[in-house]
Amino acid sequence: MSNGHFTWDDLQFFLAVARTGQLSTAARQLRTSHATVSRRIDRLEFALKVKLFERNPRGYVLTGMGQRFVETAEKIEQETERLQAELEGGATAQRGVVRLSAPEGFSNFFFSHTLTDFFVRQPNISLELVTIQQIMALSRKEADLAVVLDPPKAGPYFSEKLTDYHLQIYGTRGYLEARGVPKTRDDLLEHAFIGYVQDMIFAPGLDYLGDIHPKIRPNFQSSSIFSQLTATRSGLGLCVLPLFIAQQYPELQVVLEDEVDLLRHYWIACHHDLRQVARIRTVIEFLRESVQANVGGFIGNSGARAGLVLRG
């Protein structure tokens, strides 16, 4: 390699493109323009007299030399972050944008309630929360992190289970008084049901009406858990809802409590390349801590279902 001049900023641009494979995604993370990222990569390659990326219509792919250079750049990155943390006292050392993809229910009924605490701790990290789970793909690096119901089965991904969570059948007290309380699973067939649009279910974990009774056919279907909740609270029918959502609404009453209790899981996942990035590690740790602090809301306590009490 040549002894050309380059700066730590150049290495940040290099790592962002290496990890995302896209100039536009790297530009978003670095809060700069597509053209600036391209120019900085060109400058770095010129300084090193080495081609770090192959350009193709799908994006930027590391060359063999580029892959070797990643290891060196990451070591410099880690040392720089460590030094910043020592100089700045820790919290302000974490900077940049993190895009988190998460299911609508988890995002709106749990995670959004924890944001004040997050930004008190990490004022220099910007979060992008995407709830359109169907279109986000870790494989294309459209999201930095994802909360998912099913972990990636293969590929270069890190994943760990955040928590189990339970779901039960709910209806409003008014609806149940008017239509009667089901005593058996067969009784459920006499009731209106609310559920997901069958051919738009993006994760096997959401396809649960068949687990309750194979003959249930929803009268109202929506791809949005918020719409399902609103319809249920309006007295339209019965709906399967997570405990951490339903128990925030006292007008909802559980149906067949001792017989129908579904178990599902939330996982956190990201590309292995991103797991070593300080701001990504910070968000993972915050998710882990905040979920564990509120685990009773997800799984219930000692057989009696506990309501969600949000704590930092």
249 CB burial (10 A radius; 0-12, 13-18, 19+): middle
Q: What is the pTM of this model?
A: 0.70
Name which of 134, 107, 105 is nearest 224 in CA terms.
105
Per-residue model confidence (pLDDT) at position 133? 60
Specify the DSSP class assigned to residue 308: P
Per-residue model confidence (pLDDT) at position 211? 86
pLDDT in tens, 224-275: 999 999 999 999 999 999 999 999 999 999 999 999 999 999 999 998 878 8
pLDDT in tens, 56-100: 888 899 999 999 898 888 888 877 777 766 565 544 456 788 999
In 73-225, the DSSP E strands lie at 96-101, 125-130, 145-148, 157-172, 193-195, 220-221
Distant-in-sequence, close-in-space partners of 143: CB < 8 Å, separation ≥ 6: 99, 100, 101, 130, 136, 137
**How many other CB atoms are there within 10 angstroms of residue 210's CB atom?**
10
pLDDT in tens, 277-300: 888 999 999 999 999 999 999 998
Q: How far apart are CA 241 and CA 218, in angstroms?
A: 14
